[in-house]
Amino acid sequence: RIRSYPGTSPRGFILNFQADGTLPEGLKQGIFQLTEAEKEEYRSICNNIRKVVLNTNEPYLSQLAADQLASFLIRLNQKQAVEEIVKSDRSESYHKIVSAMAKWVNENLTLSDFAEQQNISISYMKLLFLEYSGISPKTYYNQLRIQRAVSLLNQKRSIAEISEQMNFSSQNYFT
């Protein structure tokens, strides 16, 4: 059924259907962000469905409209699955870099060193850190190094000893 308040157009589309077999996970929630091209395709499918509903007394969609809609939903689900894999890969890359930074906190490594270890570009690493931590990778690594230095200071180690252990360029720079 197509419904809206008088004088307005429908802004959403609720679709109920029954499917044989197992429904893909992405379709269970059924909320998708559409690109402009997908919106246009969706409008076209909805117009076809509207024509069928308004021009016939059939309570069910025509087979063509049903096939178009099924194909569209399957493609959206596949796109969403690919996006989830990419997101998972980004998350894994971020966690690998963070682990490497924690492992090498006593070294004075550069962003290039970490990017090279993970086989990614520095700009991609910066995007990952902004997405997952909200700060730059350099700031994150410096904060780790400072936390480690504070921990060593709390153990009553000297400035010279900590500066050397943490591979700062000089004791003055560390101070």
Per-residue pLDDT reduced to its tens digit, 116-160 = 988 889 999 999 888 888 899 999 898 888 888 888 888 888 888
Count of residues for the chain?
A: 175
CA 103 from centre of chain: 26
* pLDDT in the model for residue 138: 92
CA distances from 7 to 4, 10, 43, 87, 134 (A): 8, 10, 19, 41, 45
CA distances from 2 to 6, 33, 63, 163 (A): 12, 22, 18, 72
* pLDDT in the model for residue 21: 65
* pLDDT in the model for residue 14: 62
Are 115 and 125 a contacting pair, CB within 8 Å? yes
CA distances from 157 to 79, 132, 154, 161, 171 (A): 55, 34, 7, 6, 13
- Those residues of the chain that have pLDDT short of 50 are none
* pLDDT in the model for residue 29: 62
